[in-house]
A and B are shown apart, each in its own frame.
Chain A
């Protein structure tokens, strides 16, 4: 008895890989196009915005891996983003700078500087260990209970960041992180996240997990182990979010605990809800639309002049807009823009419908 899917036909195993790869690449195309446009044509300031938006995209994709496939809502993913970011920061920041920021770090961490090649895998291991522990609890719960526990997990991790200043520098900014990632690396990271998430969705585990989300009773009657499946998705989700944190830290060079808290949670949640949490396409669409939308609102926020008339500054408008997006989406189209179909699946369904009409069945 194995937990892996029995290949129904010799080609079944390769079929899902092909499906995931092509689907992932198609979904990543708009991201690559926009990213390259920013690298080539946008001023420096906008490149920073693009990098931040793409880091958000990776977080949203990570969120989708667990929430979209398991159907269990969660709010704790920013904890893993923070763990990834602080992991890289603590391990890779030069000793000279650590003497200024965290001179009394435990475990001799203020005395060492690791190459990113070593610091990144170690950070992933830290994220994985915490994901395995928290996943054991989350996987047993469903509905509101899972959501609340994930939120509690976020609060715990945030509190540790704040109240262990010897290691995390507390409320203050952790600076001096080597800026090892540029916009191209972040674009590559986003593409990788999209392809991995799509491969997971099409894999046996992803398929089985979606079955448990669709109809738990029927899935368990087919001997599917919903807890084990959720644990695996939780781990992958955490690793993707952790990667986003590392990319952010290695791009910005400075991090602080408040970056990885409620504001980020709700921003990324709104992106996923807008795009549609059932699909990786939804994660991509929601992030792009909301990133551009919020940037447009921010430019209005500080007061602009329209046709010679000075509009008043409306600070906080972007926050209101975020809330409105969540409310309107939940009320009018809870499945989000993309609904049940991935981009490539929607194209395929459209083609099939046309050919069916041709046959006039």
Chain B
């Protein structure tokens, strides 16, 4: 027994030493790179810091490096990488939208795929039932509005409920929507769905930007909101709802706001998805698995940080469709879910938040432990 303890502390010590030297190494690299980008970061901080938060040189490099990478991807990536990233853009919209509602307020929704599903079905059903020639200028706003309306329909009665009840009823909302599709197959196309929706384009390059640009707009908008007072209140609701009420703020009203903020981009994502595939069907658009995957993405990147879920979505979709693509499906999913579970247990705050804080530390000059 005692020898085992010795060994384990011994190995911990070795690990600790290794980690410290790696840590020091990274710090010195960080200290060298940070000043290079600090002036740019300072400029950014002066202009936008008040709205989006300040960052140091390393963090500036991460954000704008990634942005540059995303914008230029077709010029250096392979075909399947671009294909994967196109899909990842849509899922990033979903994960960020989920985050502003569930991640920030702590009211975990298991039913967000209803919102995107409603938007997608609204588009398809308008084209299928009303007018096949209806222009996107009409269907897109109407579909987003439909997502918003359904979002309110779910939010109004349920936000009074406490956490677990809220999760259950959002879960049930997915099941109800899913099961209604079949009895009304005359309008919904039943389980084979509707194929008559037009795609934006079959040109994969153009399509990539069709998905990327709305995703970036949503990211900027939600980051702005999350960094504003609304975001603060939403987080306060998660930490202590009665304190929010005691401070004279109507918590229910803010929770409702979070649903509005979430439903609109969910609607946008749903519309992007339906014009990506040019079709809707219940298994691709509605099933509860979709809701769970959104949550997994947000968890992976770090809940309540907007950009974390964005990164999480890219990481998740990349792993699923690109990095692990050669493996049989069940092995692939086993690996994915194991990673998510490990992150949940050992890195609750998410990988991208960890990265962000690490960059902050390594950027700090001359800091010693």
- A and B are interacting partners: no
